[in-house]
A and B are shown apart, each in its own frame.
Chain A
């Protein structure tokens, strides 16, 4: 009988080499996601930095400027050909080709459409989720769940078309009589419909994770169904519902096609009177995402020089930071509520 040697216990060399190789491949795949993030941040910051360094710091002169100064600025632009005046970032109007880059105009339009979207998506989404989770019998669930999944699968470009071709003439035009049937309100409604499934599915997860014992305890002390739902289940799931809301806001701000098609924002925003005001919702406008899409799709060439094109990256950076903060917040809230149960 031969004695066991170390070699016998080490196993097959080939197998362990393969094991090490595979392990490295998987690590590389995981590391790829970090590379993607790094590339996103680098590409946004590099061009946005070039854009911002092109800003001339002679703002005291132009800060007093109002609309009459647009003409003067255009002249300034054709004379120097380069550079953005700092005050141009904070006036009213986004007209990249005229040298007006007011991020505020875009931000207000984005927030306006998002507000409209949330006014629709929050009650409808959470209402649907509460009904499905607390009231619906299995048959209704079996029918409605696929409907929501189908709605979730509908591309945003389709909702943009629907908003412009159906919602605008049949709903918004009849109620508000806007100057143009493509406006921020129509786009907001479209985005709202788009985010209903998102709110509904996250809210339903939150409601389902409320332990049955809480409901039973409420029934045990004589609460009615409605009291159980409103005073026990919804408060217990509140952090999840808030997270659903925040995720939906982030999604609505980043939504591109619906607002590009239905907000009517070709050429920039021209808001009336006091700015910002609720009346602007029935006016055509340009959101951050729509501004980016318009700059990029403005010509057949997605190549460009100068500030008009670089502004795209600056707006992209603002958008990225905004959604990043919202996503982090939602993530924190979701984690906290997971720890409770």
Chain B
């Protein structure tokens, strides 16, 4: 055997063992995966940017322009004005290439007025979302008041009190199924039970009905996340409690629940964010779809007409004219997103900070 042929054999064996230097299939696969991830990020950014762009006229307080007939405009003043229904507005005149003049009435608006104003479909310049913000606040309170005690109670039952019985298994399976029921079906529940059957108590199509419906909607999620938090409490903590003679309730109250609280709060926050963004059940329960007068007094607020931020977004998108359909809806979405993302972020930060502390 010559030296050269040994060399060839060595290099052939080496390359067979090492494989190709460039892993084409692997690179393509990895690039494809990365592309999907980038797609997700880009979609989110596009969504946020396009919404803010659409909302910009209201966010920056740009006046609403609407074309008016030239003979109604008083051109003696500077700038020209128009008087409609006793109110005077500035008029902008734009001239095209052919020298034709078009008159635009300028309606002042500001983001502050938008947030603090009542719903008004007839005059988009004075449209606001105050009633939606109040409604969403009321819903948030009701979701917390109803879903925390019942949700945590059920979770504690499942993790601390239950024995392996048929009832426990039924509850367990049932909760996981409820978590998958479409939100609009909860709307049907709210309509038949709260709006129709319990009309005397809830006042029919009211904030109470809407709030309880959404509380029931998020209940399964509250139960599941709370049960997970309770399950994560180390067994020795319970045993130490029982060892010094505490009852089951005392162990739960003074040891298990405080330890599980961050997890429970995280789950509650994420559920609350979901409830604040839901509109489908509210459509069924009868949130107002148009202008309505504010109820007077605290009790009437609970049992009277109501709407909520996501409902307003839905209603705005159904109106004719860009001022409501695009700008109004987008500005309402900006407020809604701020609220929802703030609540969501609170939950996520809570979770992360406690995860770090424990590990």
Contacts and interface: CB of A to CB of B under 8 A. Distances in A.
Nearest to A155: B277
Interface in A120-140: 123-128, 130-132, 135-136
Contact of A130 (B33, B186, B193, B249): B33
Contacts of A300: 288-290
A337 B39 CA distance: 29
Contact of A33 (B37, B152, B174): B174
A40 interface: yes
A38 to B, nearest CB: 9
A130 B37 CA distance: 10
A136 B163 CA distance: 43
A275 B35 CA distance: 36
Nearest to A48: B188
Contact of A260 (B170, B174, B314, B340): B314
Nearest to B316: A161
A255 B184 CA distance: 8
A251, A256, A289 — most chain B CB neighbours (10 Å): A256
B184 A224 contact: no
Given A16-B247, A161-B313, A127 B30 contact: no
Contact of A40 (B175, B188, B195, B336): B188
Report, as a range, how many residues of chain A touch the other chain: 35 or more
A155 B34 CA distance: 26
Interface in B287-341: 288-290, 310, 313-314, 317-318, 326, 329-330, 333, 336-337, 340-341
Contacts of A33: 154, 171, 174-175, 178, 219-220, 223
Contacts of B178: 33, 36-37
Given A158-B47, A162-B51, A289-B280, A47 B36 contact: no
Interface in A250-270: 250-251, 253-257, 260-261
Classify the secondary structure of B's interface with A. Answer: helix
Contacts, number: 273
Interface in A203-236: 224-226, 229-230
A69 interface: no
Contact of A36 (B29, B51, B216, B289): B216
Interface in B176-220: 176-178, 180-189, 191-193, 195, 205, 216, 219-220
Contacts of A31: 171
Contact of A292 (B29, B30, B184, B313): B184
Interface stretch (A77-85, A278-286, A315-323): A315-323
B344 A153 contact: yes
A261 B317 contact: yes
Contacts of A166: 46-47, 50
A144 B160 CA distance: 36
Interface string A30-44: 111110110110011
Nearest to B54: A165
Classify the secondary structure of A's interface with B. Answer: helix
Nearest to B19: A224
Interface string A1-45: 000000000000001101100110111111111101101100110
Interface stretch (A53-61, A91-99, A324-332): A324-332
Nearest to B177: A327
B157 to A, nearest CB: 4
Contacts of A200: 40
Given A36-B219, A193-B43, A43 B182 contact: no
A304 B158 CA distance: 41
A247 B181 CA distance: 11
B23 A226 contact: yes
Contacts of B219: 32-33, 36
Contacts of B223: 33
Nearest to A148: B40
A302 B286 contact: yes
Given A26-B153, A162-B50, A18 B34 contact: no
A67 B223 CA distance: 50
A70 to B, nearest CB: 27
A147 interface: yes
Contacts of A301: 286
B13 interface: no
A247 B176 CA distance: 12
Contacts of B313: 157-158, 161
Given A158-B333, A256-B182, A26 B156 contact: yes
A255 B340 contact: no
B41 interface: yes
Contacts of A225: 23, 26, 30
Interface string A140-170: 0000101111110111111111101110000
Contact of A43 (B174, B188, B289): B188
Nearest to B217: A36
Contacts of B46: 166
A16 B249 CA distance: 10
A166 B53 CA distance: 11
B153 A131 contact: no
Given A43-B189, A296-B284, A131 B184 contact: no
Interface of B: 19, 23, 25-26, 29-30, 32-37, 39-41, 43-44, 46-47, 50-51, 54, 149-154, 156-158, 160-162, 168, 170-171, 174-178, 180-189, 191-193, 195, 205, 216, 219-220, 223, 247-249, 270, 273-274, 276-280, 283-286, 288-290, 310, 313-314, 317-318, 326, 329-330, 333, 336-337, 340-341, 344, 348
Given A18-B249, A196-B40, A328-B177, 13 more contacts: A27-B161, A28-B153, A29-B156, A30-B153, A132-B37, A144-B40, A156-B280, A164-B317, A225-B23, A319-B185, A323-B185, A324-B180, A327-B180
15 contacts: A30-B168, A32-B219, A39-B189, A40-B185, A123-B36, A124-B39, A131-B34, A131-B36, A154-B47, A158-B337, A256-B280, A261-B314, A289-B184, A313-B188, A320-B182
8 nearest A-B residue pairs (beta carbon): A254-B182, A155-B277, A127-B36, A29-B153, A43-B192, A327-B180, A256-B280, A226-B26
Interface of A: 15-16, 18-19, 22-23, 25-34, 36-37, 39-40, 43-44, 46-47, 123-128, 130-132, 135-136, 144, 146-151, 153-162, 164-166, 193, 196, 200, 224-226, 229-230, 247, 250-251, 253-257, 260-261, 289, 292-293, 296-297, 300-302, 312-313, 316, 319-320, 323-324, 326-328, 330-331
